[in-house]
Structure 1
Amino acid sequence: MTQSAGLVDGKAVCVTTKENPTNINDPECDDQNDRVQKRDKSEKFLTRLHEVFIDHKKNSIEQIQFINRLAQLEAKVKENLSQFKTSFDSFMSKGKEIESEMLGFNAPIRFLNTEYENLSNEIEKYFSLIKNFENEKPSLVPITYLENILKTRKIFDETNENNIIDTKNLLEHNRYIKMLIIILIVILIIVFVIIILEISFMMVFIIPIISLICSLLLVASIVILLDAQILDRNCKTGTVKDCNFDIMQADEYMKDIRRTEFVNQSEIFKNDIEQVQSASEKRTKAFQDYTNLLMKDRLREEIGVFLNLFDKIVFVNENFDSLTENKIDSDAFYVDINKMIKILEKFKDMFTQDIKEEALKMLMNEYKFCYFIKQEKDEIVSRTKSIMLGSPHKKSNLKIKNCISILEDLCRSRDRLDVVFNSIMIFVPLVLISVLF
């Protein structure tokens, strides 16, 4: 495989072919390929880095939403737990009067106050993350900085693309001119051969055709004249679409940006990366501690302790008065039990496995980002700053070369149009005179 210069959709590119070995060591192709490869690597790096920070922003927003849902859940749980405590205190007050009788049907309440404390502590675990979580909004400085760089590079890329489109139009125009010249020469040769040889039987058919072609060429000459005048004016004034030779002003503008805004922002970017890393480490630890607590969760076991006790009491409902010798109001006693059972069932619905799974997912996302920043922080800052400081200058130099090349093609096109127009003006009348007279 070898390298050669060519055009793809109007773009001057270097391609590899087996048939054309003439440009195997073409330095221009090597230089262009090198620029393209470096640009592609830079674009991929910046785009990937931008995606990482965008993903982190989304994850941070999801974390805040998760915390807000926990806060809403906490408010509901506290309300239900307060109602549970009221019924529990009433239950314990009555239960102490029949504690010995309750032992008889295996429903001891001696350590039930301790079980209530355990239940409260297990519930509190689910909301510990709220206190430890860094609930600030994710920093947008890294994202904004990267977007500015990508936007600036895109402006230069789009400008160069516009110039390449102009080059394509000029090349098509040149091909059109060459075709006109070739057609004109072929027609003239055929006509002169027929006239010189005086082929009479051909003259009958050829005269109308030649007259029509010459008429069309005369009409086309008007269009060619207008095109030539436009190209002549642009050639003399140096006017090229999307160039206008104000590129030096753009280059100075980019130098000002590099000296001020982006250089200053690069320092902010570095400091902000460190702050982002610090915040990410805190969040990672907070989620790690939280998931560890939830992995040791005993809430359902504590709920089971109460439900198991209440089931035993409900089981002897019909004989309860006789078993306790009517020492307490059994109806009020069972009302308290039913209220607590309903609240405990609510707790089972509120504290689902989804909370643990969502917390674990957020821990993994935050841990991956934290590890990435910790390992690549210095490389991110240095490469990003290097790309910003180096690429616009190279791009502006490339644009200057493109503009000069376009102007040269434009002037050559004007000269070719002049040749075509003069040829038509001289030879078409001669041909018509020769044929008609």
Structure 2
Amino acid sequence: MALLISESMWGPLLTRAVHLGCADITPVGSELLPRVRHGRWDRRLLKDATPHKELAAGCTFEEDSDPNLCDFTQGEEDDFDWLLFRTYSSPSSSFDLLKGSYMLVNSSQHAAGHRAQLLLQTLSENDTHCVQFSYFLYSRDGHSPGALRAYVRVNGGPLGNPVWNMSGSHGKQWHQVELAVSTFWPNEYQVLIEATVSRERQGYIAVDDIMVLNYPCYKAPHFSRLGDEEINAGQNATFQCVAAGKASEAEKFLLERHNGDILTMASVKHLSHRRFVVSFQLDSVQRSHQDLYRCVTQSLRGSGVSNFAELVVKVPPSPIAPPQLLRAGSTYLIIQLNTNSILGDGPIIRKEIEYRASQSPWSEVHGVNMVAYKLWHLDPDTEYHISVLLTRPGEGGTGPPGPPLVSRTKCA
């Protein structure tokens, strides 16, 4: 229910609410707080930021933040909204809360499992970004107030798995997180911060001092561009994720598929003291493995996220029809390869004929560079099975033999 409040009573708060685009006023405990649907990032240098570096964007949620330079959006697919909390306007607020201005979730006021999301502005240029924010997860009795997760969504697609997550009660203090996001045009990347209420429904979840920086993170490793991989079905595919930073700062290395599947088996090779490569191998890939994949590092202090690269799986080709017999002699057969229609993928870089006598376990393979081919030195009055083999580029590019032509040489 919307409330009308006079400016004389709530002057500073109401003025700030108008700047931020409040939808209504929502009670939290005994105090009234603005329910902010949209806001804008404060580009000022925030605390803990390196003085000579420039912010791409940031938000302190303080009263004196420039309302014209700060941009965030409440989620539309969640269950409730984050609340802008300010201790100066809430003198009767809980002693469990820290002083200051920040975005807050009071777990006791929402159902277990319900979620609130904050969407940062999209990033699209070729650049290295470090998204920093402070978080607060606290319950006086030690119960978990819920979970705080960060996602990096690409081109408005599915959220996938969280690139960073934290749950439990972690003391009445702020903790800082870094997200190293590698962005590559023309794709758009968006960081989403989500709070989920725990079953205990006790305590508070808060975020503050959100910064989007135009330089690498101090701790979290940054990935270089991850390239697409093309592989023939049945072969092993390898993604090599090159990162700048220290591998020791990462506790987990993950390869995330666009559908949410996770591969955790990785090998790490150090290229220098500030550069390393993480390799993930997918064994005996099939067409069903074709998808987008990205590299992720995770630790309590933050995460690194690469771009999505495509795994393209090609099926080695095979002729649909058998070769055709053009002429037969006592010691030869002239055949036409008949490879206009194939199963699988091209391009065709090599054609071969595989043939054997019907009663023989041994076969021979001849390379062919013409439409028709003459098989010499055959035995008279003997039946032969003749098939065509096709090969496309890459290891394992030779497909299975096509259907055979069964033909007999003439009598001598």
The TM-score with structure 1 as length reference comes to 0.14
**Higher CA-based Rg:** 1
- Larger helix percent: 1
The TM-score with structure 2 as length reference comes to 0.15
Tell which has more relative contact order, 1 or 2 (C-alpha 8 A, sep 6+): 1
